[in-house]
Structure 1
Amino acid sequence: MNITKIFSEYFNRNGYGLGIFLLVTVGFWVILLIILPQLSMLDFSFRHHLPPPEMGGPKDTYTIEHYKYLVLGAPGSDSSYNVVDLGVFGRTLLAAIFVTILDLVLCYPLAYYLGQSSGGGFTRVLVLLLIIPYWINEILRAFAFRIIFGESGVINEMMLAFGLINNPIDFIRANVALYAGLGYAYILLMIFPIYNVIESLDRNQIEAARDMGAPWWRIHWRVVIPYAKPGIVSGCTMVFMLSAGALAAPQILGGPSSLWFTQIIYQWFNQGGNWPRGAAFAIVLLVTCVFIVLSLMRLFKVKMGDIGK
């Protein structure tokens, strides 16, 4: 199918007015708000850290020193590798994977119930209850989680009152509050993609599997999960990317030893004033996350077109 036929079918389906509006809107979003800023960041990451008067001068050349710093650290350091930044980078990715798995485990049963229910009043109320908390700002929700999980917070007070513990538990230092806050922040991004796919699943397939004596776990493993795979991958992609790139939640809910890689990037941009190094670190995080997502899509045999359906 050539490009002319594609555009012809597109305008026949949407009309010229709506079709042009959609193309301009999507083009503005993709090119001006995504591609060009990332290209600018990429160019900046290969520049020397120079005073403003020297930018654009003969010293303003390309270099890979900022990428070398991430791997090797400062010249003359005792270690042959930048163990601090690389350790934070690895912990951030592992934590983002953990948050993604946690959200998937929590959201899949709920998404299945919503998708296969008859759509009565209780289901609509349940969906509304999921959405209403997100009317509150993300920063306020993070501080609310800090209050709930604090040593004098609701959870510790209830556990002390029921005699479950003798001393308050420091959920902040243990990163429990951080993982709970991140999981809660992106839970809708996991539920609705899975729900949208499962909603279109023919219930007769599930009934046929039950009639043939398949247990519930085999029905999900052989029927529901393969069908819902695009929604699962879409939800996991959004939760993983946003968790790895989170900044507000780690700063508010993180303990003393839970430095997030995005916090290092923030420090280079705003406190260190070294924008090229911050850009290099940001590009490394972006490329690594995209590589992980594409690798998992290839592993589970999910195409980009399947997610867009």
Structure 2
Amino acid sequence: MFKQLKARFGGGLAIAILSIIAVWLIALVILPQLLMVDYSLRPNLLPSELGGEKDTYSLINYETLFANKIHLTIFLKTIWSSVLVTLLTLCVSYPLAFYLAKVATPGQAALCILLLIIPFWINEILRTFSWYIILAYKGPLNSLLLALGLIDRPMRFMTGDGAVMLGMVYAYILFMIFPIYNAIENLDMNQIKAARSLGAGWIRTHYRIIIPHAKPGIATGCIMTFMLAAGSYAVPALLGSPGSRWFTQIIYNWFFEGGNWNQGAAYAFLLLLICIGFIALVMRIFKVGLGDIAR
């Protein structure tokens, strides 16, 4: 990497770039994670007890999750729901990404991309709150359904995980569309034409030609969407009900309401491990490496 940077920018600038990257990785990624691990292995003590006999390393903060059935259920539900959000986002994003890359004219693609990006100029909390208004008991969606005669009384859309998943698909759709779009855009259109000329239908063409070519983009989009969904706090807090809590809300409660940073760090580190495991699983399923994802 240094040789490539040196050939392009010169030795001095290459060293400066690598130094900035190293400082960023160490100060903002590695050290905070190490500090979180250190917190998670120590008990929650009074300031006067720090460094004393009770200040020892143990796994008791991790054991708390498996001993607490409610927290464990929420943890497992969060992982499963994040996987489902990723799959739903992929199903919505793939056709749109293919349309933008290979079907739409440059003008149509530019207009669609602009329409996708404009809502994201607004803060995520405001965008999520707009869905809260739309899905409210006396909101526009219920009013429209009542006016059309499709329902005889308002429905409560925010009583389960459905509203949370809908909000997350909307919130993170760009993180799925653009990696897939970039991957499909590089595909030679002649390969698609050749497959169609040889009698392959659209489903077979996508399965044999387009999807294999777009695997790095699909893997990148799935990884980014899953990690954002698993670590989301604003969407489940606004669109969720008491029965649809997210694991990040439990972590937030430990840190800022319970004042137990050690327990919160243990929960946060477990969630990080699951995310790392998901990345490894996606890379194995799609048979891609870090270089393919970072491309």
TM-score after normalising by structure 1: 0.92
* Per-residue deviation, 1:119: 4.8
CA distance in 1 between partners of 2:28 and 2:282 (Å): 26
2:175 and 2:225 in contact (8 A); partners too: yes
- Percent identity between the aligned chains? 51
Relative to structure 1, is the Cα distance of residues 160 and 303 closer, same or farther in structure 2, using a 3 angstrom cutoff? same
Match of 1:283 among 269, 273, 286: 269
| Match for residue 65 of structure 2 among 70, 88, 100 | 70
> How much does 1:70 deviate?
1.0
Aligned to 1:144: 130
Cα deviation, 1:64-88, whole Å, max 9, x if unaligned, reads 111111112xxxxxxxxx2111100
Aligned with 1:12 (options 1, 7, 10): 7
- 1:206 counterpart residue number: 192
- How many pairs align? 295
Kindly indicate whether residue 236 of structure 2 is the aligned counterpart of residue 250 of structure 1.
yes
1:109-132 deviation per Cα after TM superposition (whole angstroms, max 9, x unaligned): 111111114652221111111101
2:37 to 13, 34, 42: 42
Letter of the 2:285 partner, please give it.
L
- Contact 2:223–2:278 (Cα < 8 Å) also in 1: no
Taking the aligned partners of 2:16 and 2:235, their CA distance within structure 1 comes to 36
Q: Give 1:1-309 correspondences, 5 Å limit.
A: 6-72=1-67, 82-117=68-103, 119-309=105-295
Whether contact under 8 Å (2:192, 2:205) holds in the other structure is yes
Query: After superposition, what is the alpha-carbon deviation per residue over 1:84-115, rounded to whole angstroms, capped at 9, x for unaligned?
Result: 11100010011101110110000001111111
RMSD (Å), alpha carbons: 1.3
CA distance in 1, matches of 2:71, 2:18: 41
Shift of 1:280: 0.3
Which range moves more in the overlay, 262-271 or 8-17? Answer: 8-17
Structure 2 CA distance for partners of 1:152 and 1:118, relative to 1, 3 Å: closer
Which moves more between the two structures, 278-287 or 11-20? 11-20
Give the drift of 1:31.
1.5
Structure 2: tracts of 5 or more residues without a match? none
SS of the aligned residue for 2:214 comes to helix
The SS at the match of 2:241 is: coil
Quote how far apart the aligned CAs of 1:35 are.
Answer: 1.1
Counterpart CA distance in 1 for 2:119 and 2:29 is 29
Alignment CA distance shift 1:17-1:165 (3 Å)? farther
Distance apart, 1:10 and its partner CA: 2.9
Q: CA deviation at 1:168?
A: 1.1
- Following TM superposition, where does structure 1 have runs of at least 4 consecutive aligned residues deviating by more than 6 angstroms? none
Q: CA deviation at 1:308?
A: 1.4
- Once the two structures are superposed, residues 250-293 of structure 1 have per-residue CA deviations (whole angstroms, 9 ceiling, x without a partner) of 11110120011111111111111111000000001110121122
**What is the DSSP-based 3-state SS (H/G/I as helix, E as strand, rest coil) of the residue aligned with 1:257?**
helix
Query: Which whole-Å CA distance do the structure 2 matches of 1:132 and 1:163 have between them?
Result: 33
Give deviations 1:11-36, integer Å, cap 9, x for gaps: 11232344234213322322211111
Structure 1 regions of 5+ residues with no counterpart? 1-5, 73-81
Change beyond 3 A, Cα 1:141–1:67: same
